[in-house]
Protein backbone atom coordinates (compact mmCIF):
# COMPACT_ATOMS: atom_id res chain seq x y z
CA UNK A 1 0.00 0.00 0.00
CA UNK A 2 1.30 3.45 -0.93
CA UNK A 3 1.61 6.23 1.61
CA UNK A 4 0.57 9.75 0.69
CA UNK A 5 0.35 12.98 2.62
CA UNK A 6 -3.16 14.40 2.79
CA UNK A 7 -1.87 17.71 1.41
CA UNK A 8 -0.48 15.89 -1.65
CA UNK A 9 -3.81 14.14 -2.23
CA UNK A 10 -5.75 17.40 -1.96
CA UNK A 11 -3.33 19.20 -4.25
CA UNK A 12 -3.53 16.38 -6.80
CA UNK A 13 -7.35 16.36 -6.67
CA UNK A 14 -7.56 20.13 -7.14
CA UNK A 15 -5.05 20.08 -9.99
CA UNK A 16 -6.99 17.34 -11.78
CA UNK A 17 -10.19 19.34 -11.37
CA UNK A 18 -8.50 22.58 -12.45
CA UNK A 19 -8.98 24.16 -9.03
CA UNK A 20 -5.36 24.29 -7.87
CA UNK A 21 -5.46 28.10 -7.83
CA UNK A 22 -7.98 27.91 -4.96
CA UNK A 23 -5.59 25.72 -2.97
CA UNK A 24 -2.60 27.97 -3.60
CA UNK A 25 -4.56 31.11 -2.77
CA UNK A 26 -5.36 29.61 0.63
CA UNK A 27 -1.72 28.66 1.07
CA UNK A 28 -0.74 32.28 0.36
CA UNK A 29 -3.23 33.57 2.95
CA UNK A 30 -1.77 31.19 5.56
CA UNK A 31 1.77 32.22 4.61
CA UNK A 32 1.01 35.86 5.50
CA UNK A 33 1.25 35.04 9.22
CA UNK A 34 4.27 32.77 9.02
CA UNK A 35 6.28 34.96 6.68
CA UNK A 36 5.44 38.35 8.19
CA UNK A 37 5.86 37.18 11.78
CA UNK A 38 3.88 37.89 14.93
CA UNK A 39 4.91 41.54 15.18
CA UNK A 40 3.17 42.35 11.87
CA UNK A 41 0.40 39.77 12.17
CA UNK A 42 -0.80 41.28 15.44
CA UNK A 43 -1.70 44.45 13.49
CA UNK A 44 -3.44 42.49 10.74
CA UNK A 45 -7.23 42.69 10.82
CA UNK A 46 -7.90 40.32 7.92
CA UNK A 47 -6.22 38.60 4.98
CA UNK A 48 -7.98 37.28 1.90
CA UNK A 49 -7.12 36.49 -1.67
CA UNK A 50 -9.00 36.60 -4.93
CA UNK A 51 -7.81 36.29 -8.54
CA UNK A 52 -4.13 36.52 -7.62
CA UNK A 53 -4.53 39.60 -5.42
CA UNK A 54 -3.74 39.35 -1.71
CA UNK A 55 -5.93 41.78 0.28
CA UNK A 56 -4.49 42.69 3.68
CA UNK A 57 -6.36 44.89 6.12
CA UNK A 58 -3.99 46.46 8.65
CA UNK A 59 -4.84 48.24 11.90
CA UNK A 60 -1.91 50.66 11.84
CA UNK A 61 -1.51 53.38 9.18
CA UNK A 62 2.27 53.65 9.52
CA UNK A 63 2.62 49.87 9.14
CA UNK A 64 0.41 50.05 6.04
CA UNK A 65 2.74 52.67 4.56
CA UNK A 66 5.80 50.54 5.36
CA UNK A 67 4.23 47.41 3.84
CA UNK A 68 3.33 49.30 0.66
CA UNK A 69 7.03 50.05 0.22
CA UNK A 70 7.88 46.36 0.66
CA UNK A 71 5.16 45.09 -1.68
CA UNK A 72 7.44 43.45 -4.28
CA UNK A 73 9.54 41.81 -1.54
CA UNK A 74 6.39 40.41 0.10
CA UNK A 75 5.07 39.05 -3.22
CA UNK A 76 8.39 37.37 -3.95
CA UNK A 77 8.68 35.88 -0.46
CA UNK A 78 5.15 34.41 -0.42
CA UNK A 79 5.43 33.05 -3.97
CA UNK A 80 8.74 31.37 -3.15
CA UNK A 81 7.28 29.69 -0.06
CA UNK A 82 4.10 28.68 -1.93
CA UNK A 83 6.21 27.14 -4.68
CA UNK A 84 4.15 28.76 -7.44
CA UNK A 85 3.61 32.39 -8.52
CA UNK A 86 0.16 32.69 -6.95
CA UNK A 87 0.38 36.30 -5.69
CA UNK A 88 0.42 38.88 -8.46
CA UNK A 89 -0.37 41.93 -6.33
CA UNK A 90 -0.95 42.95 -2.71
CA UNK A 91 -3.49 45.58 -1.73
CA UNK A 92 -3.23 47.02 1.77
CA UNK A 93 -6.37 48.44 3.31
The fold of the 6-92 domain, in CATH, is GMP Synthetase; Chain A, domain 3 (3.30.300)
- What count of Cα atoms within 13 Å lies in the side-chain half-sphere of residue 31? 21
Q: Which residues contact 77 (CB under 8 A, 6 or more apart)?
A: 35
> For 11-32, how does the pLDDT look when each residue is reduced to its tens digit (9 = 90+)?
788 777 777 788 889 999 999 9
- DSSP SS3 for 87: coil
pTM greater than 0.85 (yes/no):
no
- The reported pLDDT for the residue numbered 12 is 80
Domain borders along the chain are 6-92
**pLDDT confidence of 33, banded at 50, 70, 90?**
very high
Amino acid sequence: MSEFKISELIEDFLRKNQKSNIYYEQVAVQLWKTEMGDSIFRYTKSVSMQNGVLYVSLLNASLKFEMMGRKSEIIKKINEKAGVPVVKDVIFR
